[in-house]
Amino acid sequence: MQTRSLWEHTLTFFPQFLAALKEHAPRDATVAVIGASDGKFVLPLAAAGYRVIAVERDPLALHGGEVHLPGTAHAHATGLIDRLRLEDLYDRVQVVEQDFLGSEPLDRLCDAVWTSCSWHYSVNHRRPLAEFVARMQLLVRADGLFGAEFMMPVEARHHLVDHYTSPEKLSRHFTGAWNVLLTLRTAEFTERAHHGRLQDHTHRMGLLLAARTSDHPHPHGKKNA
């Protein structure tokens, strides 16, 4: 990639999701990325040949602008839309500029859906975590893949917010029509300073991958993408 994401060096379980995607979805699968940001995951998916639906509400992430980075006064960040154009991937990605929780759900089913540490942002705390998860689940067709990496509690205040969860708690939302394929977690680790967190800080992260079973009809009977 010629351009770089602001989140280029943050820890991720995305390789595990990508491996599961190759196993469970066709080569030209449609993947929805919820909280697409500036394209850390969208661009690699599109470059690998997948069709991508990128859902994001932040104008800075979408269109770029001035940001404050560690060790610098200000810098210009390239947004998702310009990054897609620069990498000649724009035609493979549908950018949906909307609030995932505050808008009508997408009107199609996808082969897979992915989110990375998006539901723990305070703007999403106005609705229960269960609603965020359920909306993502509704996007997944039969035999499709659900993937989410998320922040686990580190500080005492995190235990008061259900959006800081664990693989065990999150697995409770995947019964009936779902098979949990993989859960992972980290120990506490130090993340280097980055945009939005200008000092080194401590995280724990979890991963859950699940597949919708083909013998359960989709609850809303949506059409495939």
* Residue 225: per-residue pLDDT: 58
Please tell me the number of Cα atoms within 13 Å of 60 on its side-chain side.
Answer: 11
Integer Cα distance of 176 and 94 in angstroms: 31
* Residue 71: per-residue pLDDT: 74
* Residue 96: per-residue pLDDT: 96
Instruction: Estimate the share of the chain in helix, then strand, then coil, as percent rounded to the nearest 5.
Output: 25, 30, 45
Domain made up of 14-212: CATH architecture: 3-Layer(aba) Sandwich (3.40)
Fill in the amino acid letter for 154: V
Mean pLDDT per 10-residue segment, the chain (225 residues): 84 97 93 97 97 96 87 83 96 95 86 95 86 96 96 92 95 96 95 76 94 76 59
Integer Cα distance of 183 and 33 in angstroms: 19
The token pair that represents 151 in the structure block:
């922040």
* Residue 217: per-residue pLDDT: 64
Instruction: Provide the terminal-to-terminal Cα distance of the chain, rounded to the nearest Å.
Output: 27
What's the pTM? 0.91
* Residue 3: per-residue pLDDT: 83
* Residue 200: per-residue pLDDT: 81
Looking at the chain, the number of H-run helices and the number of E-run strands are 6, 11
Do 64 and 56 touch, CB atoms closer than 8 A? no
